[in-house]
Structure 1
């Protein structure tokens, strides 16, 4: 007989089939950061990430913060900047209290002196020398802790140093209030960069190929071999001073404007995306970027802590971006590469990261529109929706150079022999010759030969010209005019919501009771209501990528099935919601577009496949039993008479 029981808590759970990484992590003092006011950050050669804060220094090991303060040897807790020496030592620049060095696991004094108690704004090392700068002054500390106050090397000019960058031994570049300077042989010299106009430069950094990026008023410059090779115009606000800029290894550009959050320019474009808005940093002061060795982007702020952006393969759009409604029910791409997005309330065009809602000139028709499906063909857009037209009637309008055919229907298909088929709610379909007109149509019933309450969810033509109809009453196949039903199949005799075809001539069906596939080669049917422990019932939509992986959108997330493995995307991996309603695969860009009840998302599959599947990081916050609170230092043993045990945890 057991006299007690033991609760064993595994805080780190690993699965090969599911990633639990959110779109970003947000760390503040509540999560262990020394202070939410962060001045600078860096990653050392051992992989630790260091943060200079208003309340000491924090070192992050990927799981937890270790904090250092005056109790550990700092001259002061207000640390403005930090840098790494050539032997792995870390230098800290203190507010008006000189410098410290972290070496061999301990902090010691490096120098108490700074000139006239000024706050240094930056540091860099050159061999055994430590340089610091502020305003128009430069100081040098040698390994014997001797401080050499170099003073104003611009005298008699008054020039402010904004940022310095080491490019060679004994050689630095300086971004200043009067343009670009080189520091060499203990003096500054004005340099001319071809294509760079005379102006204040707020920031300088190098990319992974040692090219130079400059932040200026309303512009970002890329410099190679002392010439500007690219200029990006930044015209967002009255004050467009680009005070921080970084180019990551994927050649995306990140920048910030004073008190205006931060922004993102995707590689290969000049389109500016307000990335700060997506994490709640609107009108906030972002002061630094860092790309760590795993490709995560870190963003530090004054007062809001730090953000670690991962899952950079994923972009989300919502009504905040101009989408007419967050419930995205249909996605298509037109011949020019624009994304057409159907929602619970209208049709949208996504172009250059901006949504435009398409409005028909006849507002009485488009007063309310639930979009079921969208197709593009021959510069025409076909919209299957719930407009005010009678069933079977087509309305025509224009958007720019495209014709829009809208019609009241629940589904439709354009066949290879130019037949236009629409499905409705009463067990019926209409067949038109292409281009469709309301006067030329024939009526066919799907289940049986009469009218009944049976919605046609989807219509699909396979490579062998068979027509498949997914309905509330089950699946129907029409081949050479002959109808085939599947009454003995549990999945296919129930509601079927989506049909697609893979690269092995298998037709896939998704519905209320799971998934099934039909082989065109041998007519074999295979049912899959579950995959391992995953319940794939309530499937809404299917798509197949170029690797022949099946993407299954359900009300519980997005599942990617590849032979015997599975990956899951949901809110914990960055999607705005787990309710997936529509999918569209862009073969040329290898991008999966995902429509959900929370908006539109795009997944860069090339980057997605490179991403790591991380373990669930569960953090136990509290254990209570009756009126007692327990610590986590050892296994906890509860006697049989203990009741009301509560575990409080986060992940």
Structure 2
């Protein structure tokens, strides 16, 4: 009842298809068990009688309950309802669901069948008496018996057969029958156990009585465990575990396992566990025979077993109430007069002598008496552990008084280097006689002669508190720590730690035993078996209450018997592990969906579904409006093994195709789901094993604005609006078009008139500019004059517009050929006007003033230009940049041939001479021909030219032209490279190449300035 069972007397046990265990009780109604907790159904849930004798589940999943006086009930939507029919007596003894899905109700007046919630009589005439048990065999035949002298009935192929004393029963009072896996029918009667073959039409009944070691008394229940052993429940001898292959029978009763000796009911669940109802002691699960617990019933009067020593066939144990000696499973306290206090440790030395220590105790047994080595209790106040080496030295660990050593007398044991060891647990002597001290706060201390080494967190351990040290194979040392799990060392080097994260039950290991390839670790949570693999990996098997080990292990209290059983000291007595019974528990979890809730817990589904499931009450064909923002699912898992580790994974198909990571909550809520059809799926998991999937499908409707009719209406309305708008717009456009056409006609007429005026003006202007070009062309030197004086030469002249600001000039005076390239301010008409003024200034300087020196010509030209522009009321800053050359053919100097003299003066524009593939540059003065501050005379530069020297003068229009791939200026550097590349060509070819290079560079770009280039070869 402490676990939640509503009553201590269980009258029936049943497992449903999902895996839940249902119990009917003597006054607490029905209890459903999921492996860890109970849910009860009693008067508040709808029962009218709390004594429930029978339970079954029909083919649709509905649970049925038979009561002693209240009639028959069924479960619907988690509430209990009565099933009323006049043919069913109010006292129901048994329930069974046959292969056809019919529920057979055994009651005080016989059997009634329920098929699809309708009652009908049993097809054969049977005695109208209380049918106390009904079962089905492997061939779907029905067997039933009465609580009186009617024997057993078999209903097979619409034929009823009676089996009673006429074929072998001593008495006809059959209480229970069961068919085993081999097809044998076993019958429990008032006088014992019977069996017969179900295959025989005239069976031979065999009685199993005292000659076979079976009590000849009431036998209530029969089943089999997962190994095929027969479990026989008796009225006063507990239950019998009968191995039919070996014929070994083990009685399990209040002396060695059960709480009571009257076993009223027993079943095997689908995971292989056997469930029992000891009369008046609730519900018990039988965990096979893997562990046996010895305590008071076996003579051990104290349940705290602190130490174990085996001596041949005998076992010595120390407890909190002295020392006990066990022979053949029976224990008797030893030397109770001399030893009455708590003994914490026991040890067998090399001479087979038994030593002990504890509270104010240290001694050994000799000649049937105890020898106390500290009779005044002045040395050992709290003994913790005791051990010895191969030389016969005994070491006693204490809690607060350090370590004591006994050889001939009891003396304090000191460690080298004065390591403080006041609080220690044990001393272990390894195969090389080295001492290992398990200490509190200093880890493990190894003493190898006078050398000392400590093993603590700095060496790899996870704790500096070590409970115990045990040596295994190949000098491997296993250290059980307080909080750091198991540490493994070899040859004084840390190898690894094994902790709870790896699968241990707990990180505090208080006892260790090593056998074969296993390391056994005891903790307060139970027992672990670590099996090492050849590849260095390991497998951990836990032993807890689920396997039958429901106790806490004690410090260094573990040993192995002569016959191979592991002996474990615990706080619940001496526990014996039987390796031949060690088979993994079967795990079959189950899960059901118990509830669906909407926003804020709403569960009124009537407006959203067609109906509800008659078993669990869940809505069928649930269709939810889009206004529902939340939907929650509650589910319940079941597992009879490791139920405390049960978890869930879920997914909502339609939202996510993957199952969630494990969760431990049994409820999940989904928010703001879009319209669609969804299926909620959930599985229960234990140790990675999944249950079958529980599913629930529902639909969420689209909001009305997403429905086809609303969308269609909106589309039609939109089309209508578009049509009306289009018509209105067309009419508006038509009116606007008419108005526009009228306006356009008026404006067109006006524009035509204005266009004619503009065209006339443009024509006049163009004619004027064209005429100006003729005038400008007239002042330029004719080609024949140029060729007359400069035979090997070229002139490139490219105005940006019709007329230009650039011009070239030539004059012959006093045997000198004067020529220039000028760049006047601006281009087009303004530049052309300036060029006329500047051209006139050059002519006057030469013709009127007779000047031939280029520098003086430029000085005079500047004077004339400034005078001309100063005649205006406005200040005029215009002028020109120029490169002016003078060529003269003079008499040769002494000893030289006749030479060519070149004089040059420039305003900004340079002179280039290419001689023998090298370009010589002479820069002009940094002042223009025009108004300028800080005026200085222009400089005349004189050169003696050589044959094939080439003179180049030019304006800046060529090098300033934008173009190329990146739209940049051509630049002086590129022009220099071009001239050097083509200088060996004839002058006319050079002209063509220079023009092509300019056009290629300019490409589709506009010409930015006037271009003028003159080249002369000597």
Shift of 1:112: 0.9
Q: Which residue of 2 aligns with 1:247?
A: 224
1:448-487 → structure 2 map (5 Å cutoff):
448=416, 458=426, 460=428, 462=430, 464-470=431-437, 482-487=449-454
Q: Which residue of 2 aligns with 1:47?
A: 19
Residue 147 of structure 1 pairs with residue 121 of structure 2: yes
1:340-379 → structure 2 map (5 Å cutoff):
340-349=316-325, 355-360=330-335, 365-368=338-341, 370=343, 372-375=345-348
Residue 540 of structure 1 pairs with residue 517 of structure 2: no
Q: Alpha carbon RMSD of aligned pairs, Å? A: 5.7
Instruction: Tell me the TM-score normalized by structure 2.
Output: 0.43
Structure showing greater relative contact order (alpha-carbon pairs closer than 8 Å, 6 or more residues apart): 1
Change (3 A) 1:385 1:585: closer
What is the CA deviation profile of residues 539-558 of structure 1, one whole-angstrom value per residue up to 9, with x for unaligned ones? Answer: 532223554345143x6765
State the alpha-carbon separation in 2 of the partners of residues 187 and 531 from structure 1. Answer: 60
State the alpha-carbon separation in 2 of the partners of residues 609 and 588 from structure 1. Answer: 27
Change (3 A) 1:212 1:579: same
Q: Which residue of 1 aligns with 2:554?
A: 580
Matched-pair contact (CA < 8 Å) for 2:343–2:356: yes
Matched-pair contact (CA < 8 Å) for 1:494–1:513: no
Q: Which residue of 1 aligns with 2:479?
A: 509
Change (3 A) 1:504 1:308: same
Q: Which residue of 2 aligns with 1:16?
A: none
Q: Which residue of 1 aligns with 2:494?
A: 525
Shift of 1:89: 6.1
Change (3 A) 1:274 1:407: farther
Q: State the SS of the aligned residue for 1:45.
A: coil
Change (3 A) 1:615 1:163: closer
Please point out which of 181, 184, 188 is paired with 2:162: 188
Matched-pair contact (CA < 8 Å) for 2:345–2:358: no
State the alpha-carbon separation in 2 of the partners of residues 428 and 94 from structure 1. Answer: 69
Shift of 1:583: 4.1
Shift of 1:75: 9.3
Residue 395 of structure 1 pairs with residue 371 of structure 2: no
State the alpha-carbon separation in 2 of the partners of residues 351 and 465 from structure 1. Answer: 34
Q: Which residue of 1 aligns with 2:470?
A: 500
What is the CA deviation profile of residues 280-299 of structure 1, one whole-angstrom value per residue up to 9, with x for unaligned ones? Answer: x558x764223222234434
Which deviates further from its counterpart, 197-206 or 93-102? 93-102
State the alpha-carbon separation in 2 of the partners of residues 70 and 367 from structure 1. Answer: 54
State the alpha-carbon separation in 2 of the partners of residues 569 and 170 from structure 1. Answer: 41
Shift of 1:248: 1.8
Matched-pair contact (CA < 8 Å) for 2:349–2:392: no
Matched-pair contact (CA < 8 Å) for 2:554–2:569: yes
Residue 323 of structure 1 pairs with residue 300 of structure 2: yes
Q: Which residue of 2 aligns with 1:113?
A: 86
Change (3 A) 1:99 1:328: closer
Q: State the SS of the aligned residue for 2:119.
A: coil
Greater C-alpha Rg = 2
Q: Which residue of 2 aligns with 1:447?
A: 415
State the alpha-carbon separation in 1 of the partners of residues 438 and 55 from structure 2. Answer: 64
Matched-pair contact (CA < 8 Å) for 1:477–1:483: no
What is the CA deviation profile of residues 454-491 of structure 1, one whole-angstrom value per residue up to 9, with x for unaligned ones? Answer: 688545454x5444342658756576xx4432147568
Residue 412 of structure 1 pairs with residue 405 of structure 2: no
Residue 599 of structure 1 pairs with residue 569 of structure 2: no
Shift of 1:519: 0.7
Matched-pair contact (CA < 8 Å) for 2:296–2:302: yes
Matched-pair contact (CA < 8 Å) for 1:509–1:516: yes
Change (3 A) 1:350 1:406: same
Q: Which residue of 2 aligns with 1:629?
A: none
Q: State the SS of the aligned residue for 2:323.
A: strand
Change (3 A) 1:46 1:234: same
1:615-630 → structure 2 map (5 Å cutoff):
615=644
State the alpha-carbon separation in 2 of the partners of residues 104 and 535 from structure 1. Answer: 40
Change (3 A) 1:394 1:301: closer
- Structure in which a larger fraction of residues adopt helix: 2
Matched-pair contact (CA < 8 Å) for 1:261–1:277: no
Change (3 A) 1:535 1:250: closer
Unaligned runs of 5+ in 2: 199-204, 374-382, 532-536, 588-640, 648-665, 670-1018
Instruction: Tell me the TM-score normalized by structure 1.
Output: 0.63
What is the CA deviation profile of residues 410-463 of structure 1, one whole-angstrom value per residue up to 9, with x for unaligned ones? Answer: 523575xxx6553236755557xxxxxx9xx9999673599x99688545454x
1:282-293 → structure 2 map (5 Å cutoff):
282=260, 287-293=264-270
Matched-pair contact (CA < 8 Å) for 1:328–1:595: yes
Shift of 1:273: 3.2
Shift of 1:96: 5.6
1:94-109 → structure 2 map (5 Å cutoff):
94-95=67-68, 99=72
Change (3 A) 1:454 1:77: closer
State the alpha-carbon separation in 1 of the partners of residues 490 and 189 from structure 2. Answer: 60
State the alpha-carbon separation in 2 of the partners of residues 162 and 208 from structure 1. Answer: 23
Q: State the SS of the aligned residue for 1:26.
A: coil
State the alpha-carbon separation in 2 of the partners of residues 178 and 511 from structure 1. Answer: 66
Residue 424 of structure 1 pairs with residue 400 of structure 2: no
Matched-pair contact (CA < 8 Å) for 2:153–2:163: yes
